């Protein structure tokens, strides 16, 4: 059973959300939406490297927050609610020098006022690079 507010949701419905954002600057792209997950990719290149030529932990956190926040927004009625980040953590497991990393956001908790998302980021060999947990608040647009 689908967790998304809009039951016939497709990537085209929200791909434009990343225009002129940090996500677009980093090359983040949404690649798949399943019944209960959102998947996206990010290149490991000059935009996402730290000084040693490895994937920057902040870039991994940006991918995780992008996927988790967008997934969170897709679960609610966006005419009535807005989803904003409260807390993110990221454990960096393995380094990556180049290629593409893929993140998959899956819900741990979807509540009325908060959501918790797990985002697993893997390299092209499906090896775990980073695991992140994002907590978001669900705010009424009337309050904002």
Answer whether 33's CB lies under 8 Å from 11's CB. yes
Tokens of residue 41, six digits: 């990719």
How far from the centroid of its chain's Cα atoms is residue 141's Cα? Answer: 22
Closest CA to 44 of 102, 126, 100: 100
- Backbone φ and ψ for 100, nearest 5 degrees, come out as -135, 135
- Could you tell me the CA-to-CA distances from 9 to 6, 19, 51, 66 in Å, in that order? 5, 19, 39, 18
65 is catalytic: yes
The active-site residue, picked from 32, 35, 65, 126, is 65
The SS3 call for residue 140 is strand
Q: Which residues are tagged catalytic?
A: 65
């Amino acid at each position: 059973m689908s967790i998304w507010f809009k039951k016939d949701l497709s990537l085209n419905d929200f791909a434009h959300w990343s225009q002129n954002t940090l996500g677009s600057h980093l090359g983040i792209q949404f690649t798949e939406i399943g019944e209960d997950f959102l998947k996206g990719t990010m290149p490991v290149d000059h935009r996402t490297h730290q000084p040693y030529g490895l994937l920057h932990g902040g870039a991994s956190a940006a991918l995780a927050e992008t996927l988790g926040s967008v997934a969170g927004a897709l679960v609610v009625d966006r005419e009535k609610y807005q989803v904003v980040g409260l807390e993110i953590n990221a454990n960096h497991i393995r380094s990556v020098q180049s290629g593409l990393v893929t993140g998959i956001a899956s819900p741990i908790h979807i509540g009325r006022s908060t959501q918790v998302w797990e985002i697993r980021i893997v390299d092209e060999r499906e090896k775990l690079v980073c695991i992140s947990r994002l907590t978001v608040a669900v705010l009424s647009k009337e309050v904002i």
